[in-house]
Amino acid sequence: MSDVHRAVVLSPEDFVKESMSIVEKADKKGIVLRILGACAIYIHSLHEPNSISIYTRLGRLAGHQLFTDLDLVGYSKQRKHIVKFFEEELKFKYDPLVKALFANRRLIYYHPLDLYHIDVFFDKLEFSHDVVFGDKPGKGRLELDYPTIALEDLVLEKLQITKINQKDLVDLAVLLHGHDVCRAGEKECVDGGHIATILSDDWGFWYDATTNLGRLLNFVNSKVNEGKLSSSEKEAIESRVNKLLSMINEKPKTKNWVKRSIVGVSKPWYREVEEVVR
């Protein structure tokens, strides 16, 4: 989650294997770590090769680069175990400045051979809006899926970005091409009910999320016109976006949401994000 697009010195396939191996090794030690971001979406889309091919056709980043880093999330209750895992067992190098300033919320590690770097977040993502996972093993959302966070949390991770860019729209297009939107409990399906519940209590998050879903519709339409997406691919993504929007709109809003909606965009509705530049 950095604006510095350093290349991962591994093929996408090898990087995915490496990422999953880290989560598996942690799991064997009782440490809960889950993969976020584009790597998680790639892993979840492996069952649908055509979804993976969208990355190639749309170009997530400049050139042939797909991943810039590995984003992981864990529980703060296990922070000392996570630090020991990366530094003593995997021999990763840590970023001392980030460790000094943000250790309770975030850590950055570098592969021993500088093949890639890792962002480790604790309990929640705090960017334009918060995506909360909980702080204790067995009590939070991280155990809902493996080796990644749940699909609906991946969607929220992207929709919370106020100043969304092309790579995040590509990620959403890939995810929603390969996964339907449904109610809770269905495998390989985005829990739209959870997303609607989160947004029903936070007008600012709701505003950015629904705006970004509209941007996604415009984006996929433009890619059909460019010949980079087929009409059937566009229709699949479009139908799932519209299904999610319907669930969001139908969900009754809380008093907090209604009160903040009156203020609207006349006051800041999102958090300004300062990227960590390495």
User: Containing H/E element for 121?
Assistant: strand 117-122
Read off the pLDDT of residues 27-78 as tens digits, 9 standing for 90 and up: 999 999 999 999 999 999 999 999 999 999 998 887 667 999 999 999 999 9
Q: What distance in Å separates the CA atoms of residue 70 and residue 55, rounded to the nearest whole number?
A: 17
Q: CA-CA distance, 41 to 180, in Å (whole number)?
A: 14
Identify whether the C-beta of residue 81 lies closer than 8 Å to the C-beta of residue 32.
no
The ranges assigned to domains in the chain are 12-266
Q: What is the DSSP-derived secondary structure letter of residue 156? A: H
pTM for the model stands at 0.94
| pLDDT digits 0-9 by tens, 154-208 | 999 999 999 999 999 999 999 999 999 998 777 789 999 999 999 999 999 999 9
Determine the straight-line distance between the first and last CA of the chain, rounded to whole angstroms.
11
Q: What is the pLDDT of residues 251-278, one digit of tens each?
A: 999 999 999 999 999 999 999 986 654 4
Which amino acid belongs to residue 11?
Answer: S
